[in-house]
């Protein structure tokens, strides 16, 4: 076990980034023309990085498995993006955003990275507005803010319920400008299948053209991985169907350490599962918790009646409802951080109070918000003694203006009108805080190999706050990586073009081809999804919202079994040289089957509860997470040595100099 060097610069936290930027090496514009950079993944992080690197003058090759960068799953982020602008004058500052993020992450993130994130957050908003991102505005024409879980200020900028979409389109428009100039070469419908390392440095990738099936070699002076998280290891998650961990897992197998895989965010407000055919779970934005109140019946007999369809939620009187978040966390109420809200929902449902046929759902009720807004509007409009129907109508109009698209989405999926009856929600896998370990420069343990956005582990600790993923993705891509990568590339100005006929390319390409051929020739008995669903079940039941030693050990054994079975019996129809979605899935699931095991192993090793990682053995008397700062205030970075079970843990000790380590309380 070695200790990792995070390369955090010296000096006071407020000055670290500025001083560091002033001193790092730069590449002169003439030399940038001779340097190639590969960016894999074109969501917010990859897209913004590609655009910025190309603007700087590097030759960028960008890869996306979708038919366009604008379809990356960043597009699905609904609620908003945080920035310490303090436009509301409510006491926000860089320090407060930094503090909230570290605290929200349950003190398992690297202070210097988080401070830098807070520091550049304001720039992101400036940048996006300049790019034409139509953020919500108030009647004076200035930017509007809303409030998200786990914080006491309003610092979230938003564009209706489609903030991720708008930011991604902004980044994509910046990319388009560079594609038109020829500075970005865009490879749509291409999937990276491995990384090529020459003399210890990342020098290229092997990619498959998903339309023709052709295996291609691409070389560069540096490789940036921005392929998002691994939430689909659970099969069911809010991720896109194609979201996968293959790029991240492949670089892990070639030497990049994988950090804190057990830190996964289960989002509290998703539409509950309706049956076994379910292919994905749909998120309802956290912003709904601004106005929605979460409850379950207080009486177990009411809950049973609801589960059997004999009782309607609207028939339960106010005094028989248990607004359990408001009860347990009076200070933050319905706006506690995601991990806390999810666990509280699970606790109630496990106790039998769930509210749909599966018993895995709680109510998110807008009735009191509708009434409050309705009365407010009646007052504004000067209606004296408004009737109940009038109030409801006025209130519903306000709710519709704020969340109309989410309500419509809910109604289409569930076939119930959420204005009239409370929404049903249940936690679902949403985001992975863990990921490839990177230093302050966002470089992995392989020189020249970078990892940004959700794919890396860096900024969110054990739990991410709402509206911070967009912030991190764009911060990494627009404002951090473009500086730090120059420091590395300044040594490469005399290297010249990297040849793709090097023996290292031959070897990696051969491995990639052999694996693909294996899938096609295996002619097994079960489809890829069969194995993926099995893995997902084990992950959800034993490595899900609450974990314990027994379950984790079982999970490891079961995952190994599923993996062995997969390699014996997987069936992939079709051929190599064509568009073959089953073949694509096979490679991804093969990697999830390894990652899942490391995930469980990491969860087993971390004998504490923090953020999204809740070990049943380590909790307080009233069921709150019990952190162990003395023994576990470190990042667990795993080195691959041939099998997930034999991975070696390296520790990065976390130091808290600017924030006092204390028990997180939202009470």
Partner 1 sequence: MNLTLKIWRQKGPQDKGQMVEYKVTDISEHMSFLEMMDVLNEDLVAKNEEPVAFDHDCREGICGMCSLHINGEPHGPDRGITTCQLHMRMFNDGDTIYIEPWRATAFPVIKDLVVDRTAFERIQQAGGYISVNTSGNTQDANSIPISKHNADLSMDAATCIGCGACVASCKNSSAMLFVSAKVSQFALLPQGRIEAADRVKNMVAQMDLEGFGNCTNTGACEVECPKGISLENIARMNREYLKASI
| Cβ partners under 8 Å of residue 114, min gap 6 | 98, 101, 102, 105, 459
- Identify the residue among 4, 24, 26, 136 touching partner 1 (CB under 8 A): 136
Tokens read off for 468: 């911070």
Give the whole-angstrom CA distance, residue 481 versus residue 487.
10
Segment lying near partner 1 (by CB under 8 A), choices 233-241, 317-325, 435-443, 450-458: 233-241
| Cβ partners under 8 Å of residue 120, min gap 6 | 17, 475, 478, 479, 480
**Cα-based angle 565, 566, 570 (whole degrees, multiple of 5):** 120
SS3 of residue 192 by DSSP: strand
CA 105 to chain centre: 13
Our CB check for partner 1 shows the closer of 165 and 444 to be 165
Per the annotation, the verdict on 208 as an active-site residue is no
275 binds partner 1 (CB under 8 A): yes
SS3 of residue 44 by DSSP: helix
Our CB check for partner 1 shows the closer of 486 and 644 to be 486
The active-site residue out of 338, 343, 563, 664 is 338
Give the whole-angstrom CA distance, residue 197 versus residue 507.
11
Site string for partner 1, 242-261 (x = CB under 8 A): x-------------------
CA 506 to chain centre: 34
- Identify the residue among 3, 7, 241, 662 touching partner 1 (CB under 8 A): 241
CB of 8 to partner 1, least distance (A): 22
SS3 of residue 425 by DSSP: strand
404 binds partner 1 (CB under 8 A): no
Instruction: Transcribe 580-613 into DSSP letters.
Output: -HHHHHHHHHHHHHHHHHHHHHHHHH--S-BTTB
CB of 469 to partner 1, least distance (A): 15
Segment lying near partner 1 (by CB under 8 A), choices 235-243, 333-341, 355-363, 498-506: 235-243
Our CB check for partner 1 shows the closer of 259 and 452 to be 452
CB of 496 to partner 1, least distance (A): 28
132 binds partner 1 (CB under 8 A): yes
- Identify the residue among 351, 413, 557, 648 touching partner 1 (CB under 8 A): 413
**Cα-based angle 40, 41, 44 (whole degrees, multiple of 5):** 135
Whole-angstrom Cα Rg for the chain = 25
421 binds partner 1 (CB under 8 A): no
CA 62 to chain centre: 21
134 binds partner 1 (CB under 8 A): yes
SS3 of residue 376 by DSSP: helix
For residue 659, the 8-state DSSP code is S
* Torsion sign, CA atoms 157, 227, 612, 586: positive
CB of 311 to partner 1, least distance (A): 21
Segment lying near partner 1 (by CB under 8 A), choices 176-184, 385-393, 419-427, 509-517: 176-184
Segment lying near partner 1 (by CB under 8 A), choices 21-29, 217-225, 369-377, 410-418: 410-418
Site string for partner 1, 191-230 (x = CB under 8 A): --------------------x-------------------
For residue 460, the 8-state DSSP code is S
Q: Which of residues 544-563 bind partner 1 (CB under 8 A)?
A: none
Segment lying near partner 1 (by CB under 8 A), choices 32-40, 277-285, 327-335, 424-432: 277-285
Our CB check for partner 1 shows the closer of 135 and 632 to be 135
Give the whole-angstrom CA distance, residue 451 versus residue 586.
24
Segment lying near partner 1 (by CB under 8 A), choices 236-244, 354-362, 450-458, 650-658: 236-244
458 binds partner 1 (CB under 8 A): no
Q: Are 57 and 32 in contact (CB under 8 A)?
A: yes
Q: Which of residues 294-353 bind partner 1 (CB under 8 A)?
A: none
Residue 91's nearest CA partner among 22, 169, 154 is 154
- Identify the residue among 199, 319, 415, 501 touching partner 1 (CB under 8 A): 415
- Identify the residue among 89, 91, 140, 642 touching partner 1 (CB under 8 A): 140
Residue 289's nearest CA partner among 420, 425, 101, 162 is 425
Give the whole-angstrom CA distance, residue 664 versus residue 653.
20
CB of 524 to partner 1, least distance (A): 10
- Identify the residue among 28, 278, 495, 620 touching partner 1 (CB under 8 A): 278
Our CB check for partner 1 shows the closer of 160 and 250 to be 160
The separation between the first and the last C-alpha atoms of the chain, rounded to the nearest angstrom, is 38
- Identify the residue among 6, 109, 166, 444 touching partner 1 (CB under 8 A): 166
535 binds partner 1 (CB under 8 A): no
CB of 184 to partner 1, least distance (A): 10
CB of 413 to partner 1, least distance (A): 7
Our CB check for partner 1 shows the closer of 219 and 484 to be 484
126 binds partner 1 (CB under 8 A): yes
519 binds partner 1 (CB under 8 A): no
Give the whole-angstrom CA distance, residue 606 versus residue 602.
6
SS3 of residue 474 by DSSP: helix
- Identify the residue among 19, 88, 282, 490 touching partner 1 (CB under 8 A): 282
| Cβ partners under 8 Å of residue 655, min gap 6 | 111
CB of 66 to partner 1, least distance (A): 6
Binding-residue total with partner 1 (CB under 8 A):
81
Work out the widest C-alpha separation in the chain, in whole angstroms.
83
- Identify the residue among 177, 372, 515, 537 touching partner 1 (CB under 8 A): 177
Q: Are 227 and 248 in contact (CB under 8 A)?
A: yes
| Cβ partners under 8 Å of residue 507, min gap 6 | none
CB of 346 to partner 1, least distance (A): 23
Q: Which of residues 50-109 bind partner 1 (CB under 8 A)?
A: 51-52, 55, 66-68, 70-73, 75-76, 85, 87
CB of 146 to partner 1, least distance (A): 15
Annotated catalytic residues are 338
């Amino acid at each position: 076990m070695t200790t990792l060097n995070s390369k955090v610069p010296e000096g006071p936290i407020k000055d670290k980034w500025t001083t560091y930027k002033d001193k790092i090496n730069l590449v002169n514009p003439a030399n940038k023309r001779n340097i190639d950079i590969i960016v894999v993944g074109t969501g917010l992080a990859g897209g913004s990085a590609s655009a910025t690197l190309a603007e700087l003058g590097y030759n960028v090759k960008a890869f996306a498995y979708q038919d366009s960068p604008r379809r990356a799953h960043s597009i699905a982020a609904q609620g908003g993006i945080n920035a310490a602008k303090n436009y509301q004058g409510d006491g926000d500052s860089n320090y407060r955003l930094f503090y909230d993020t570290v605290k929200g992450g349950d003190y398992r993130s690297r202070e210097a990275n988080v401070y830098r994130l807070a520091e550049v957050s304001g720039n992101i908003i400036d940048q996006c507005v300049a790019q034409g991102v139509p953020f919500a505005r108030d009647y004076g024409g200035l930017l509007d803010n809303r409030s998200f879980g786990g914080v006491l200020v309003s610092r979230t900028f938003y564009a209706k319920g489609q903030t991720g979409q708008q930011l991604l389109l902004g980044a994509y428009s910046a990319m388009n400008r560079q594609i038109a100039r020829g500075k970005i070469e865009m490879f749509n419908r291409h999937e990276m299948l491995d990384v090529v390392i020459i003399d210890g440095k990342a020098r290229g990738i092997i990619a498959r053209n998903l339309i023709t099936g052709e295996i291609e070699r691409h070389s560069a002076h540096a490789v940036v991985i921005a392929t998002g998280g691994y939430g689909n290891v659970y099969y069911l998650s809010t991720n896109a169907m194609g979201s996968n961990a293959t790029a991240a897992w492949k670089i892990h197998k070639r030497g990049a350490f994988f950090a804190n895989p057990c830190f996964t965010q289960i989002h509290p407000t998703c539409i509950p599962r309706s049956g076994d055919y379910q292919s994905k779970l749909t998120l309802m934005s956290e912003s709904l918790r601004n106005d929605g109140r979460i409850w379950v019946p207080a009486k177990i007999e009411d809950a049973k009646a609801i589960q059997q369809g004999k009782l309607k939620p609207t028939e339960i009187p106010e005094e028989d409802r248990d607004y359990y978040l408001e009860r347990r966390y009076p200070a933050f109420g319905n706006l506690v951080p995601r991990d806390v809200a999810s666990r509280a929902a699970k606790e109630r449902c496990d106790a039998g109070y769930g509210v749909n046929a599966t018993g895995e759902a709680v109510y998110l009720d807008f009735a009191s918000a509708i009434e409050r807004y309705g009365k407010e509007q009646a007052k504004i409009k000067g209606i004296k003694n408004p009737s109940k129907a009038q109030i409801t109508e006025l209130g519903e109009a306000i709710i519709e203006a704020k969340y109309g698209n989410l309500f419509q989405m809910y109604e289409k999926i569930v076939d119930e009108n959420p204005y009239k009856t409370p929404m049903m929600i249940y936690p679902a896998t949403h985001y992975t805080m863990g990921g490839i370990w990177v230093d302050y420069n966002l470089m992995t343990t392989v020189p020249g190999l970078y990892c940004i956005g959700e794919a890396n582990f860096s900024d969110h600790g054990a739990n991410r706050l709402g509206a911070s993923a967009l912030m991190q993705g764009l911060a990494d891509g627009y404002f951090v990586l473009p500086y730090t990568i120059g420091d590395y590339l300044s040594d490469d100005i005399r290297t010249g073009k990297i040849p793709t006929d090097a023996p290292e390319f031959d070897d990696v390409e051969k491995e990639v081809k052999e694996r693909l051929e294996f899938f096609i020739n295996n002619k097994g008995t079960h489809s890829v999804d069969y194995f993926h669903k099995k893995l997902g079940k084990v992950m959800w039941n034993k490595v899900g919202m609450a974990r314990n030693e027994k379950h984790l050990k079982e999970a490891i054994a079961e995952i190994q079994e599923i993996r062995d079975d997969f390699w014996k019996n997987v069936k992939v129809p079709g051929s190599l040289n064509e568009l073959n979605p089953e073949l694509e899935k096979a490679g991804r699931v093969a990697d999830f089957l390894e990652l899942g095991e490391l995930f469980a192993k990491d969860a087993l090793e971390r004998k504490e509860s923090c953020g999204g990682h809740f070990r049943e053995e380590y909790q307080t008397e009233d069921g709150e997470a019990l952190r162990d700062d003395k023994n576990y205030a470190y990042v667990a970075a795993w080195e691959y040595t041939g099998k997930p079970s034999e991975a070696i843990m390296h520790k990065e000790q976390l130091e808290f100099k600017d924030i006092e380590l204390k028990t997180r309380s939202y009470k």
